[in-house]
Homo-oligomer: A and B are copies of this chain.
Amino acid sequence: MTELKNDRFLKALAREPVDRTPIWMMRQAGRYLPEYRASRAKAGSFMDLCTNPEMACEVTLQPLERYPLDAAILFSDILTIPDAMGLGLYFETGEGPRFKKTVRTEAEVQALEVPNVDDSLGYVMKAVSTIRSALNGRVPLIGFSGSPWTLATYMIEGGSSKDFRRAKAMIYDQPEVAHLLLDKLAQTVTEYLNAQIRAGAQAVQIFDTWGGALSAQAYEEFSLRYMRQIVAGLIREHDGRKVPVILFTKNGGLWLEKMADTGCDALGLDWTINIGDARRRVGDKVALQGNMDPAVLYASPKTIRAEVKRILTDFGDHPGHIFNLGHGITPEVDPEHAKAFIEAVTELG
């Protein structure tokens, strides 16, 4: 493989000193970029874009052409796994993701098969290797997956949900059925991320978007437990390099110590926790990634710069910080504001 020209991101994940704080943005290849919207229009549906390795590669690289980012992230969707399990993912305009089939009963959970990821998700591995090759060592490539709990909520509810009524009824009333489902998902996520690593992903992130909707007890039993299982099953060294794992539970600020105990290398932080407090709580155990409120990108470049400085100061002079937003960049953000954000980090970090 080609030599990596920019290893700031991987060094920071290993809590090694770096010349400046590395930065990438969750959902950096996305609708806020006109070139992304053009590619999306060319590809057809969102899933057409995800399943076409050349197109997925094209949009993955777009933000790197514009901005001095320190990592690329595979362009894909967290719901490719339930789709590969036969649920039939589709997107309703303005409604978000939907599944043709849901998984709600014990029989439906039992009937669910752990897919062979190289077969059913081969298009993702092909995208990873295509992107890795196109990057040519410019920056590292991040692979990712949704967490078992997060995937389960969509599979049980049939799409997005406000209160996760059915998913929560399952964990409370039929915990053994929920555990069977989550275990199948954890096995699949492990295989999926390992296949991405073998295909060229140099770090992986687990997105636990909806773990923060659970009670503290339910989070440990139904979300964290399966992320720990995944971390334990991942390839941690590949091609002569460590492959770091980042755990991101949105609204998980209360549970950082427990997340840091899973064996992961870094925690993704949303913006509700002060990053200095987070560091004091987890110490040198893990690196921290985050944590600017994506809504700050609607403010002026001057304000954005001040907020970047504030977060850098709060983190302090330690190794192990990867700058990022606390959640994905939103479609209405002005690309010039994203630029002001990234430049502020590269200048002040």
Quick one: which of B216, B277, B300, B307 contacts A272, CB cutoff 8 A? B216
A165: B residues at CB distance < 8 A = 295, 298, 330, 332
A303-B217 contact given A163-B295, A254-B253, CB 8 Å threshold: no
A28: B residues at CB distance < 8 A = none
Give the dominant DSSP class at A's interface: helix
How many copies of this protein are present in the complex?
Answer: 2
Q: How many residues of A contact B (CB 8 A)?
A: 37
Q: Quick check: A168 and B273 within 8 Å, CB to CB?
A: no
A146 within 8 A of B: no
Q: Quick check: B254 and A217 within 8 Å, CB to CB?
A: no
A244: B residues at CB distance < 8 A = none
A214: B residues at CB distance < 8 A = 272, 293
A172-B303 contact given A215-B271, A215-B272, CB 8 Å threshold: yes
A180 within 8 A of B: no
A173 within 8 A of B: yes
Q: Quick check: B168 and A299 within 8 Å, CB to CB?
A: yes
| Minimal Cβ-Cβ distance residue in B for A218 | B293
A:152-204 near B, CB below 8 Å: 163-166, 168-169, 172-173
Instruction: State how many angstroms separate the Cβ of A217 from the closest Cβ of chain B.
Output: 7
A165-B332, A172-B307, A215-B274 known, 8 other contacts, Cβ within 8 Å: A163-B330, A164-B295, A172-B298, A215-B293, A216-B273, A216-B274, A216-B277, A219-B272
